[in-house]
């Protein structure tokens, strides 16, 4: 009987060790899985509107933002190229007489410097949707309209309408003082002023107000020369 008790005790001890090992293993696996999933969710977070931009995001280096934008643009270009190749296969007629004429207007360096210096005075002031005060609060298009308006340059009130102001010069010809139109999914929803050195001054959102950020903080749709 004593021998059986010893065997039973040994068996119980063995079962206890196995159960603990199984529990400990599962706990570690679950913990590692949670960390992995959390990391993946953070890395997959996508900004779909400018209101999602926070102060922490503004500290991302310009070069990294530029790289991310270029990668996204390359993906979109590859997708468009595939679609165009499919259309070419079924296209019956091509009008070769149509030519796109590119025109880059003269650049007024003196006036641009004045506009930038004036705009920079209001950095740190609040963002107010629909507001029309550079000191008490305005939104993105209100900011650009009021800044340019101080120098006799008339712009429409909304970012979308400002996308038709002046002349499009494209990102390749951007100069300080140019109006930058940004947005998501090809839709203009934001206006800002390029100040040089890869930076913008603009009324971004309620979280950050009027700030200086990287040129690539949002996808760029067009660059317009309005002066």
Tens of pLDDT, residues 19-77: 444 444 444 344 333 322 333 323 334 567 788 777 776 765 556 666 766 776 777 77
CA 75 from chain centre, in angstroms, equals 16
Q: Give residue for tokens 């300080």.
A: 176
128: pLDDT strictly greater than 80: yes
209: pLDDT strictly greater than 70: yes
Q: How far, in Å, CA of 187 to CA of 46, rounded?
A: 16
Q: Quick one: average pLDDT of 109-138?
A: 98
Look up residue 179 and give its DSSP letter. Answer: E
Element (H, E) at 132: strand 132-133
CB contact at 8 A, 176 and 225: no
Q: Which residue has the higher pLDDT, 136 or 3?
A: 136
Q: Determine the length of the chain.
A: 227
Q: Which residue has the higher pLDDT, 107 or 43?
A: 107
Q: Which residue has the higher pLDDT, 24 or 102?
A: 102
First to last CA, the chain: 103
Domain 50-83+107-225, what fold? endopeptidase fold (from Nostoc punctiforme) (3.90.1720)
Q: Give residue for tokens 């165009």.
A: 84
Query: 187-196 and 199-205: which strand pairing?
Result: antiparallel
In the chain, where are the structural domains located?
1-36, 50-83+107-225
CB contact at 8 A, 143 and 133: no
Burial of 213 (0-12, 13-18, 19+ CB in 10 A): buried
pLDDT in tens, 142-195: 999 999 999 999 999 999 999 999 999 999 999 999 999 999 999 999 999 999
Half-sphere exposure of residue 208, counting CA atoms within 13 Å on the CB side? 21
């Amino acid at each position: 009987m004593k021998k059986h008790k010893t065997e039973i005790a040994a068996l119980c001890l063995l079962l206890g060790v196995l159960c603990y090992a199984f529990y400990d293993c599962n706990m570690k696996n679950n913990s590692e899985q949670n960390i992995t999933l959390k990391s993946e969710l953070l890395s997959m977070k996508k900004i779909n509107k400018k209101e999602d931009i926070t102060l922490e995001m503004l500290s991302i280096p310009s070069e990294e933002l530029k790289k991310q934008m270029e990668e996204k643009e390359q993906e979109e270009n590859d997708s468009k190229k595939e679609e165009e190749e499919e259309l070419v296969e079924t296209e019956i007629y091509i009008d070769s007489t149509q030519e796109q004429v590119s025109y880059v207007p003269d650049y007024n360096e003196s006036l641009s410097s004045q506009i930038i210096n004036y705009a920079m005075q209001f950095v740190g002031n609040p963002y107010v949707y629909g507001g029309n005060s550079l000191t008490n609060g305005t939104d993105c298009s209100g900011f650009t309209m009021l800044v340019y308006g101080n120098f006799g340059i008339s712009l429409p009130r909304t970012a979308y309408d400002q996308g038709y102001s002046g002349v499009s010069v494209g990102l390749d010809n951007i100069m300080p003082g140019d109006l930058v139109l940004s947005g998501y999914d090809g839709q203009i929803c934001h206006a800002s002023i390029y100040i040089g050195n890869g930076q913008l001054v603009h009324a971004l959102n309620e979280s950050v107000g009027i700030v200086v950020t990287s040129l690539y903080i949002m996808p760029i749709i067009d660059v317009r020369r309005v002066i």
